[in-house]
Amino acid sequence: MYNINLLLQKMLKSLLLIWTCQGIYSFNLDYEYTVFKQGPADSLFGFSVTEYNSGSKAWIIVGAPLANSSYLKGSDHLNSGGIYKCDPASPSSDCSQVSDQIMFDDKDNNGQETKAGQWLGVSLDTYGIGQPIIGCAHRYINHLNGNYRLLEGKCWTIGSDFSPIGEVDPCRKRNEEEKSSNLNHQVYGWCQAGIGLKAIDETEIGHRYLVGAIGSKDFVGTVFLDVDGDLSETYVNVSASWVDSYFGYSVAYGNFFSSNVKGFASGGPRHQSFGKVLLYNDVKSNMPTQELPEIFDEFQIASGFGIALCAIDSDNNMFSELIVGAPFYAESTSIYNHGKVYVYEKSFKMNKLVLIKELYGNRDGVSDVNAHFGYALANAGDLNKDGFPDLVVGAPYENNGQGAVYVFQGAKSGLITKYSQYIVASSVMSGLTKRSLNVPLKAFGRSLATGFDMDNNGYNDVLVGAYASNQVVLLRSRPVIEVHIKVTFTPENINISDRHCSVDGKLTPCFNMTFCYNFTERNANIYKNTDTIPIKYTIIADAIQRPRINFFKNGKNKISETRLTSKDLKCIALNLYFVSNKDGVIQIYPDITFEVMYSIPYGENEFPKPDASNKDVVSLDKYPRLD
């Protein structure tokens, strides 16, 4: 909304017209024209997701931990899990298993391993554009020496052509180092590597990984690090009070303590029933630098503090905030498992991370019960091209298990604590229903991936898993435009004694308004100068009083028109006149205010939406959002 104040100068009996402005916008993730993919029934398709760019094409990569393998022999194929690739540009909801994963496997088994129920696809990540994908199966069983069945877990790397590269099996290496009498849960026998996973692609160190192993050392848990080709792991406190902590359940990597040296964090959501996060100031560290939180409040017991972690520099200060999810956090005994997200950042005065903000989802006390807000976190990069990275938070069981996704904007002051966009599964389902895709999304928001532009419009998109209904949804970002308005008045100073315009046979003061408009785009690669977008402009004269000014065009104080707007500046002329009261007097107090509002009239005659029944992947380039 724009405001024009007409400041009255009583002594000069004239009006000085001053223009001030304030914009209106909505966030730019689209939920009406999503890309939808369906996996096999009962496969947990969507339990993990990652966006991938092979260097020549974008792909949706999905983990389905209970899928039957199309390639393993014998009973090993049952519920072994699978990694799927899906084409985001295809209207088909079908996906295909990555076939070359069989080359990692012992086809004949020979009693060396058990892959049935291994949960391949429990976690996924990618090293970057054109770089490998890594996927894990934390329940993979190794039959060491034919005598021991060890729940080690295992990960595999896949190339950009979806061919195999290698294996990541840190627990096997540790078990081979142990004596045969020491292969139990108290060491690495139930290691379960792969629930927590972070792929690292750094110029100075190349491809490295962080793999969490929650079952090591009596389920205290650890994080394995591949550093300079050597395998190391974080120190494990084996005291009784640390048993069943599950450290390594989540991992994050960022500039927590230094702007030029990256460290990492490890989540232990079951530590002493409260949950704890261990921070390490360098990727080569194995002793924690700091433990979080330092103080627990009464609601944090069994909150799952540390189930999800994320690093994001939302204020561009070269230091990462650590985002910690606690999805079982309860605000009261009646609002249980609502969930909460904690934001930590380094205090230079204290030289450690401190809690700076807390984030919440919908808090209506009804739909948010059991929401599990904070179960998934993702650094989305700069979704709306305002110059600051944004955070996406999943609440997969909100609204009776349907789920929801929240977007929190980055800013110069850091993350804005009020969410900027709130997308519920029912809104996504409504859009799918119009395309004859009647799908009941469940656990929408249990997994998240973002950071890539999947439709080549220059904006990052958000991939959301809904494993309970075996589905994934790609929420694409619409372009963002900024509308610019310039207004001039003739004459600049209006003498209300100069009544030279005739209205209904009476003379009255009048003046002219020149209204100019154009738009710019945040990502200046989509629209040409000649491209136009319908913008609906509404101008209200003297909005807060009984009208004292009308437009000649319609004899009213309000005018509304939809005009084709481009990058080139266009102008229209509007003529206005003053309205006298019944005594013929023009009231000059209080100040006269003009309000100008604009919007994109989606769905109106001037700008129809895309055909709702069109099952093709609709381009969003011509359907921007306003800043």
Residues 6+ apart with CB under 8 A from 411: 314, 315, 388
Asked if residues 311 and 321 have their Cβ atoms less than 8 Å apart, the reply is: yes
Residues of the chain with CATH 2.60.40.1460: 481-599
Question: What's residue 612's pLDDT?
Answer: 65
At 463, give phi and psi (nearest 5°).
-100, 130
Question: What's residue 14's pLDDT?
Answer: 40
Q: What does the block give as tokens for 408?
A: 């929190």
Q: What does the block give as tokens for 37?
A: 């993919």
Residues 6+ apart with CB under 8 A from 373: 325, 327, 338, 339, 340, 341, 360, 361, 393, 394, 395, 398, 406
Among 209, 415, 291, CA closest to 406: 415
Asked if residues 114 and 76 have their Cβ atoms less than 8 Å apart, the reply is: yes
Res. 16: pLDDT tops 50: no
Question: What's residue 401's pLDDT?
Answer: 95
Asked if residues 510 and 576 have their Cβ atoms less than 8 Å apart, the reply is: yes
**Percentage of the chain exceeding pLDDT 90:** 60
Q: What is the DSSP letter of 105?
A: S
User: pLDDT tens digits, residue range 79-137?
Assistant: 889 999 999 999 888 899 986 444 444 444 556 888 889 999 999 999 899 999 999 99
pLDDT (average), residues 338-366: 92
Predicted TM-score of the model (pTM): 0.91
User: pLDDT tens digits, residue range 484-526?
Assistant: 999 888 888 888 889 999 999 899 999 999 999 999 998 878 8
Q: Alpha carbon 501 to chain centroid distance?
A: 57
Q: Lowest mean pLDDT: which of 15-19, 118-122, 272-276, 330-334?
A: 15-19
User: E strands, 339-498, where?
Assistant: 340-347, 352-359, 376-381, 390-395, 404-408, 421-424, 447-452, 461-466, 471-475, 480-490, 493-495
Residues 6+ apart with CB under 8 A from 526: 457, 458, 479, 621
Residues of the chain with CATH 2.130.10.130: 307-477
User: pLDDT tens digits, residue range 400-427?
Assistant: 999 999 999 999 999 999 999 999 999 9
> pLDDT band for position 12 (50/70/90)?
very low
- Tell me if the domain spanning 481-599 has CATH number 3.90.226.10: no
The full length of the chain comes to 627
Residues 6+ apart with CB under 8 A from 530: 566, 568
Question: What's residue 206's pLDDT?
Answer: 65
Residues 6+ apart with CB under 8 A from 202: 208, 262
- Tell me if the domain spanning 307-477 has CATH number 2.130.10.130: yes
pLDDT (average), residues 44-65: 96
Q: Bigger pLDDT: 72 or 548?
A: 548
Asked if residues 356 and 343 have their Cβ atoms less than 8 Å apart, the reply is: yes
Res. 366: pLDDT tops 60: yes
Q: Bigger pLDDT: 246 or 165?
A: 246
Q: Alpha carbon 507 to chain centroid distance?
A: 59
